[in-house]
Homo-oligomer: A and B are copies of this chain.
């Protein structure tokens, strides 16, 4: 008996969860994204147990989302986002947008993002990569794709 593995399912959501779905993983990614890159920094910022942090970092490196590499002659390492990991930041931005909208309350969002292109405080918006029109829950029909059959 073991915990269910989502990676085996024919579903990109489940497979993505297999990479960053474990507790803490998205927060680790967030920290690395904003520049916290060393073990002790992450541990202190998150308050995560060192054991679990070790496991998560190992998994994220294994999945090609983070890269561990030395920054000193001593055995010191820092973690960086790979290209694969940087694209996961899209996910973080959408989570941020949703949390800002539905959970921030009176106080307002804890963090704001300034968009380089326009210089404004902004949030993300989902568009169709084909026609550029908005793309949300009710705007699509799911169809079986090539990777669906056994």
Interface set of A (CB-CB < 8 Å, partner B)? 4, 6, 10-17, 19, 21, 23, 26-27, 30, 33-34, 47-48, 81, 84, 86-105, 107-118, 120-148
**With A87-B98, A102-B87, A110-B11: A139-B120 Cβ-Cβ less than 8 Å:** no
Min Cβ gap A41→B in Å is 16
Q: Is the CB of A116 within 8 A of B139?
A: yes
Q: Of all chain B residues, which has the CB nearest A107?
A: B147
**With A23-B21, A147-B107: A128-B139 Cβ-Cβ less than 8 Å:** no
Q: How far is the CA of A16 from the CA of B117 in the complex (A)?
A: 27
Residues of B within 8 A of A87 (CB): 98, 101-102, 136-137
